[in-house]
Amino acid sequence: MTRNALLESFVARLEDAHIEDARRNAEWIIENVLGLSKAVLYAHADVSVTGPEREHGEDLLLRRLRREPIQYVLERADFFGLSLRVTPAVLIPRPETEEVVAEALRRMEELEAPWVLDAGTGSGAIALAIKHKRPDAEVFACDISEAALAVAAENAERLKLEVSFIHADVLDPAFAHDVSPVFDIVVSNPPYVPDSERGTLQPEVGAYEPGMALFVPDDDPLRFYRSFAGHAPFLLKPGGWFVVETHEDHGKDVCSLFAASDLHDVALRNDLAGRPRIVSARFQADA
């Protein structure tokens, strides 16, 4: 069987299963199996594949047909120009979160050697993107999941980006003490999906991504933001910023919560799709 024949058979099977973007998924799988770029795959489409290559491709295809996310199948996701390893222990980083990173970078433009915390780091995406763009920054990242921290640390080592990882729980009253320093910027994409919405999610999300990173305890979409606000005096330097991702239905609620907690300069930005999902707020010690 040639590379092209294998590709077209994979495309057809993915289309029959109503997998979105079937051709690109098939290309990614075969590129991964053969260790080729897309350009080489099509330029040498008539080259035969070996039996082991075909079997490996079939194994990956079957996982995708079961609706496992392609990022987990390939163990890779691209984020802010970085290639990250991802496993079912971590949330798959999304393009919307790149906008959260961009907002955090804007907030630290005038700061020299800023101290930054990524709270709930998962794969390390936010922390590593910031360190990549701001090598002078002192970047810390925390997560409640030891398995997630292991993935994040592996990504940091492979990318040669120095980030300090901490095992800590944002919801713990001692959280600010556990992460120790005070920061210029605290960035987070916390869990914010109410459990009542679980059934509305695509199978790739609801069945495979870690519920701890997705769903908010007690169906309370503001729980993590309330915790951040309470930690502000112990977590942020005077003039320091929170920059957080939110549920599009609760961006205004997060703004109201932060304003009521004596945080200042509260702002809500739309993502590229026009959804109000990025909140920033500043802590002033003399408020």
pLDDT digits (tens, 9 = 90+) for 36-66: 999 999 999 999 999 999 999 999 999 999 9
Tens-place pLDDT, residues 100-126: 999 999 999 999 999 999 999 999 999
Looking up tokens 């002033």, which residue turns up? 284
The yes-or-no verdict on residue 286 having pLDDT over 70 is no
The secondary structure of 223-256 as a DSSP string is HHHHHHHHHHHHHEEEEEEEEEE--TTTHHHHHH
pTM score of the predicted model: 0.94
The secondary structure of 100-143 as a DSSP string is HHHHHHHHTTT-SS-EEEEES-TTTHHHHHHHHH-TTSEEEEEE
The yes-or-no verdict on residue 287 having pLDDT over 50 is no
Say if CB 176 and CB 166 are below 8 A apart.
Answer: no
Helices and strands, number each (H, E), in the chain: 13, 11
Tens-place pLDDT, residues 129-187: 999 999 999 999 999 999 999 999 999 999 999 999 999 999 999 999 999 889 999 99
Q: Measured at the alpha carbon of residue 88, what is the angle toward residues 87 and 91, in degrees to the nearest 5?
A: 90
Average pLDDT over residues 235-253: 96
Share of the chain above pLDDT 70, in %: 99
